[in-house]
Structure 1
Amino acid sequence: MTTAAVPVLEARGLSRQFGHVRALSNTDFEVYPGEVTALIGDNGAGKSTLVKALSGNLAVDSGTIKFDGKELDMSTPSAVSALGIETVYQDLALAPHLDPVQNMYLGRELAADGIGGLLGFMKKKEMREQSRAAFDELGATVRSLSSPVGDMSGGQRQAIAIARAVHWASRVVFLDEPTAALGVRQTKNVLDTIRRVRDKGIAVVFISHSMPHVIEVSDRVQVLRLGTRVANVKTQDTSMEELVGLMTGAVTKEENA
């Protein structure tokens, strides 16, 4: 873990209301390069709303979001992706009728050189080879690169979505319940991949209900409860019992910077 002085991504005082429901209430959040931050909270705590706001998929009612210490346009997913931020949502956001390679390069296709590129031809061999390398690095069991992902198992689709995000992320990657549909071996591969991504200096935000995985892979834990951050602690200074208590309100703790 190498923590820089300035967060790569920082939110201050974010609030968002849906009708009479306040999903975020003056919420702070920050992540640093080379650090795995676990974002935890009970159902309805505001985790998904916060992630959508930080990935350009949801406007907030108030608050500021900074990237490398500067307020930037983060109002659309394309603007956020251009900053090197990638997200894997629980619904995966894959195109089911496309194969794994097409999903990997969706919107980022490699055009062929010369006039071929102008005519719409693509570097299919290169995209296929790079996709296979990305899946192999993750330890993903993707049996076919030419079959529609809609015909694949939940575990394979999850692995494809994670490999795509990790492949394109250069600054921050959000992983929302990345091990939920995976078996024991694939889960270990994902946790190992998270560590490798962190060691490259990329900030990883790991959203999970699995406290053992949170303790195992994170450097810091930020806890949301009822739309507000109630704790920001180093993983080495807490325990599973305390984290559960913070999520439920049974334990209170002053935030640590």
Structure 2
Amino acid sequence: MATTNEPGTQSAVVKDTGPEAGRPVVELRGAGKAYGNIRALHGVSLQVRPGEVTCVLGDNGAGKSTLIKIISGLHQHSEGEFLVDGEAVRFTTPRQALDRGIATVYQDLATVPLMPVWRNFFLGSEITRGPWPVRRLDIEAMKKTADEELRNMGIVLDDLEQPIGTLSGGQRQCVAIARAVHFGARVLILDEPTAALGVKQSGVVLKYIAAARDRGLGVIFITHNPHHAYMVGDHFSVLRLGTMELSAARSEVSLEELTNHMAGGAELAALKHELAQVSGVDVEELPEEEDLTAPVPATPEGKS
């Protein structure tokens, strides 16, 4: 359904996904971050293109949070390059990243549970009217815009006056995604959006991640769940102890191979040998070490 806000939003998307659609909006080249003597990230290269979902996977401590902070402007990289639209940048605040179209949706969603949905949608960017210094909130305009933008993303809420805290976890994630899209995001970073959700609500969030991709956004999907990543991902990057262990397009890796990289094939193989020494533990059905650590083929059999 067309809205008065849609042309502005869509025109921004079309502009960045036109002739230079193949050029990454965000790119890291050998980027790293050190906190004193501790190197949290090293030699990481990543490309985020319009209309693609780039999945970044890794266990706790792999460097995912540091990667988010660099791209979102919270921290500065200490090595390598960070480029936006081909231009080297060094953000000092999240506002600078947002001004370049990079929006981040964190796990806490930055919402106020007791405030209405429409109020949270415009939190910090309220529409006002009237002359200064007696400007007041344009409540009707914010309600109308919030409803239209949510419907454009396929989210239909019966009552925008209800506190956002009464929505399910999946619905709150979707509102946060729609909000980022409305305010001109070209790259959307999602920090573990399905981590605390059940199967059904996770499916809802994955659907709206795909919807954001279809609207031309470049999506960075941070997750530790390879099954969720494989459902919507176009490119997969696996971090391990601050370095990039795997970087492959969807056509170059299967779900099983992605899961093995995520789980740590070498570690699992070593664990199998240890478990074999414990009585009562059957390890015959576990994969062999060569199966877990085999390199990813360029074109796996049976995949297009």
Which category of TM-score, normalised to the shorter sequence, fits these structures?
0.7 to 0.9
| Displacement of 1:153 | 4.9
Give the conservation status (yes or no) of the 8 Å contact 1:6–1:68.
yes
Q: Does 1:171 align with 2:213?
A: no
Q: Specify which structure has the bigger relative contact order, considering alpha-carbon pairs within 8 angstroms and separated by 6 or more residues.
A: 1
Which of 84, 99, 105 in structure 2 is aligned with 1:67? Answer: 84
RMSD over aligned Cα atoms:
2.9
Q: For the residues of structure 1 that align with 2:179 and 2:197, how far apart are their CA atoms?
A: 16
1:39 equivalent in structure 2 = 56
Change (3 A) 1:210 1:132: same
Give the conservation status (yes or no) of the 8 Å contact 1:84–1:170.
yes
Deviations 1:167-193 (A, max 9, x none): 334310011222233444443332222
1:107 equivalent in structure 2 = 124
Give the structure-1-normalised TM-score.
0.85
Gaps of 5+ in 1: none
Q: For the residues of structure 1 that align with 2:149 and 2:74, how far apart are their CA atoms?
A: 26
* Paired residues, number: 254
| Displacement of 1:151 | 5.9
| Displacement of 1:74 | 2.2
1:13 equivalent in structure 2 = 30
Which of 193, 196, 202 in structure 1 is aligned with 2:208? Answer: 193
| Displacement of 1:61 | 2.2
Letter in 2 for 1:181: A
Question: Secondary structure of 2:136's partner?
Answer: coil
| Displacement of 1:20 | 4.7
Give the structure-2-normalised TM-score.
0.73
Which of 208, 214, 218 in structure 1 is aligned with 2:229? Answer: 214
Kindly report structure 1 stretches of 4+ aligned residues shifted beyond 6 Å. none
Give the conservation status (yes or no) of the 8 Å contact 1:41–1:47.
yes
Letter in 2 for 1:196: A
Gaps of 5+ in 2: 1-16, 267-292, 299-304
Give the conservation status (yes or no) of the 8 Å contact 2:103–2:188.
yes
1:240 equivalent in structure 2 = 255
1:84 equivalent in structure 2 = 101
Comparing 217-226 with 244-253, greater Cα deviation is found at 244-253
Q: Does 1:228 align with 2:228?
A: no
| Displacement of 1:75 | 2.1
Deviations 1:168-223 (A, max 9, x none): 34310011222233444443332222222212221111112222221111111111
Identity of aligned residues (%): 42
| Displacement of 1:39 | 0.8
Q: For the residues of structure 2 that align with 1:4 and 1:255, how far apart are their CA atoms?
A: 27
Change (3 A) 1:254 1:8: farther
Larger Rg: 2
Change (3 A) 1:20 1:148: farther
| Displacement of 1:138 | 4.5
Q: For the residues of structure 2 that align with 1:184 and 1:177, how far apart are their CA atoms?
A: 14
Comparing 35-44 with 56-65, greater Cα deviation is found at 56-65
Q: For the residues of structure 2 that align with 1:216 and 1:63, how far apart are their CA atoms?
A: 31
Q: Does 1:49 align with 2:70?
A: no
Give the conservation status (yes or no) of the 8 Å contact 2:53–2:220.
yes
Q: For the residues of structure 1 that align with 2:37 and 2:296, how far apart are their CA atoms?
A: 28
Q: For the residues of structure 2 that align with 1:200 and 1:142, how far apart are their CA atoms?
A: 21
Question: Secondary structure of 2:66's partner?
Answer: helix
Change (3 A) 1:166 1:177: farther
Q: For the residues of structure 1 that align with 2:201 and 2:149, how far apart are their CA atoms?
A: 14
1:26 equivalent in structure 2 = 43
